[in-house]
Chains A and B, each alone.
Chain A
Amino acid sequence: MRTIAILEYFDFIRFDIIWNYRELYFRGLLVTIALTAVGYTCGIILGLLFGLGKMSERKWIYYPAKWYVDFFRGTPLLVQILLIHTALIPTLFGHSLGFFVSGSIALMLNSAAYIAEIFRAGIQSLDKGQMEAARSLGMPHGVAMRQIILPQAFRRMVPPLGNELIALLKDSSLVTVIAATDILYAAKVTAGAYFRFWEPYLFAALLYLILTWVCTKVIAYVENRYSTSYIPAKRRRFFMRKHGV
Chain B
Amino acid sequence: MIEINNLHKYFGDNEVLKGISNKVNEKEVVCIIGPSGSGKSTFLRCMNLLEDVTDGTITIDGQEITAKKTNVPKIRSQVGMVFQHFNLFPHKTALQNIILGPLKVKKMPKEEAEKKGMELLEKVGLVDKAHMYPGSLSGGQKQRVAICRALAMDPKVMLFDEPTSALDPELVGEVLNVMKDLAKDGMTMVVVTHEMNFAREVGDRVIFIDGGYIVEEGDPNELFQNPQSERLQTFLGEILV
Q: Which residues of A contact B (CB under 8 A)?
A: 127, 129-130, 132-140, 143, 147-148, 151-152, 155, 228-229, 231, 236, 239-240, 243, 245
Contacts and interface: CB of A to CB of B under 8 A. Distances in A.
Contacts of A138: 73-78, 101, 105, 153
Interface in B96-132: 100-101, 104-105, 114, 118, 127-128, 130-131
Given A139-B105, A245-B127, A133 B88 contact: yes
Nearest to A244: B127
Given A136-B81, A138-B76, A139-B104, 4 more contacts: A137-B150, A147-B104, A236-B131, A239-B130
A129 B114 CA distance: 25
A243 to B, nearest CB: 6
Nearest to A243: B118
A137 B78 CA distance: 8
B89 A130 contact: yes
Interface in B55-90: 73-81, 83, 85, 87-90
B135 interface: yes
Q: Which of A138, A140, A148, A155 has the most CB of B within 10 A?
A: A138
B13 to A, nearest CB: 20
Q: Which of A127, A129, A155, A236 has the most CB of B within 10 A?
A: A129
Given A229-B133, A229-B136, A243-B118, A132 B50 contact: yes
B42 to A, nearest CB: 13
Contacts of B75: 138
Nearest to A235: B131
Range class of the B interface residue count: 35 or more
Contacts of A240: 131
Given A130-B87, A148-B89, A245 B100 contact: no
B129 to A, nearest CB: 9
B76 A136 contact: yes
28 contacts: A129-B83, A130-B89, A132-B83, A133-B87, A133-B89, A133-B146, A135-B50, A135-B73, A135-B76, A137-B101, A137-B105, A138-B74, A138-B76, A138-B78, A138-B101, A138-B153, A139-B73, A151-B91, A152-B89, A228-B90, A228-B91, A228-B135, A231-B93, A239-B130, A240-B131, A243-B118, A245-B127, A245-B131
A152 B135 CA distance: 14
A127 B136 contact: no
Nearest to B100: A147
A129 B74 CA distance: 19
Contact of B131 (A132, A133, A231): A231
A151 B104 CA distance: 15
B91 A139 contact: no
Contacts of B89: 130, 133-134, 148, 152
B149 interface: yes
A65 B90 CA distance: 31
A137 B133 contact: no
Interface in B1-50: 48, 50
Contacts of B101: 137-139
B62 to A, nearest CB: 18
Nearest to A128: B87
Contacts of A134: 89
A138 B156 CA distance: 13
Nearest to B111: A242
A146 to B, nearest CB: 9
